[in-house]
């Protein structure tokens, strides 16, 4: 449904056609009466932003059983598109994780050590073959060769080189799951604005997320999640899926905390 008179006029006309009052629309959509009247007069400033205005238009249109998409298109044409989500700063580069750290020197000397040992073995073999029979002579050559081999192996370490490192056979310990309250928020359908604070009111996340975006936020004991267009946001806390916390276009605050057994306790959704 599209009206040249404007989005608000189209909503008012659809409401009148169904014989409903503004109060009845407010009761079914949970949108304030004063805000609905402002919207029908083409005043969307009280919605709190483009994202909320679009959510309110869609919620009212669906309740009145009219197609919201043409109205959304008219609103975007007059008032502008949804702003792009702010770009988050990249994480600090860690050369040890990315493979850019200093290379180990022990393995670089392995070819030289192997060649030295092979040369010693050849010398020992020649000495055994060329030396006349006699246990004393053979034993003396063998002892000298052994001493030479030991010196060849120990020499790199005495010259400042690192001894060849043995590959680790002990399995690495598994990382325990993070403690505290771990919340995953995922946006679907329409953009939504979120603000997450921990128990000390410190802001952990404040961003407009687009459909398909998700964020993970962690706090020690509890957190407060305020979301616009709550019907488009799915919330999971410590692996427990809480689902959407409100209706499309609705602004809702959810409080979650850590239970005694490590599970997530939900304080309930509080509409604005």
Delimit the domains of the chain by residue range.
Answer: 7-79, 113-129+142-156, 181-271
- What's the pLDDT at 183? 80
* Cα–Cα dist 161/154, whole Å: 10
Positive or negative, the CA dihedral 9, 11, 15, 21 is: negative
CATH of domain 7-79: 1.10.260.40
Residue-wise pLDDT tens digits, 226-272: 988 888 888 888 878 887 778 888 888 988 887 777 677 887 565 65
What's the DSSP call for residue 101? S
Query: What helix, strand, coil percent values describe the chain, rounded to 5?
Result: 40, 20, 40
Helical segments of 135-224, H only:
135-158
- What's the pLDDT at 7? 93
Residue 25 clears pLDDT 80, i.e. is over it: yes
Q: CA–CA distance from 9 to each of 40, 59, 74, 123 (Å)?
A: 6, 16, 12, 102
How much is the pTM?
0.36
Residue-wise pLDDT tens digits, 131-170: 555 444 444 444 544 444 444 444 444 455 555 566 566 6
Q: Please, are residues 227 and 243 in contact by the beta-carbon 8 Å criterion? A: no
- What's the pLDDT at 33? 96
Choices 1.10.10, 3.30.70, 2.60.40, 2.40.30: CATH for 181-271: 2.60.40
């Amino acid at each position: 449904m599209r009206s040249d008179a404007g989005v608000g006029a189209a909503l008012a006309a659809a409401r009148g056609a169904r014989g409903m009052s503004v109060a009845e629309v407010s009761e079914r959509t949970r949108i304030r009466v004063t805000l609905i009247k402002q919207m029908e007069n083409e005043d969307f400033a009280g919605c709190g932003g483009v994202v909320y205005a679009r959510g309110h238009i869609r919620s009212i249109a669906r309740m009145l059983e009219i197609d919201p998409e043409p109205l959304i298109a008219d609103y975007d044409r007059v008032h502008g598109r949804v702003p792009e989500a702010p770009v988050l700063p990249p994480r600090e580069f860690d050369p040890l994780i990315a493979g850019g750290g200093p290379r180990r020197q022990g393995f670089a000397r392995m070819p030289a050590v192997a060649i030295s040992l092979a040369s010693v073995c050849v010398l020992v073999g020649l000495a055994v073959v060329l030396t006349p029979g006699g246990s004393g002579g053979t034993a003396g050559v063998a002892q000298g060769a052994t001493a030479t081999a030991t010196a060849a192996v120990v020499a790199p370490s005495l010259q400042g080189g690192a001894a060849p490192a043995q590959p680790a056979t002990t399995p690495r310990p598994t990382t325990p799951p993070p403690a505290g309250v771990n919340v995953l928020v995922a946006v679907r359908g329409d953009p939504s604005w979120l603000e997450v604070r921990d128990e000390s009111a410190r802001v952990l996340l404040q961003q407009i997320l687009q459909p398909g975006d998700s964020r993970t936020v962690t706090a020690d004991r509890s957190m407060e999640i305020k979301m616009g267009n709550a019907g488009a946001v799915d919330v999971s806390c410590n692996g427990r899926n809480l689902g959407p916390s409100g209706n499309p276009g609705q602004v809702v605050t959810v409080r979650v905390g850590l239970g005694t057994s490590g599970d997530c306790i939900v304080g309930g959704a509080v509409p604005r």
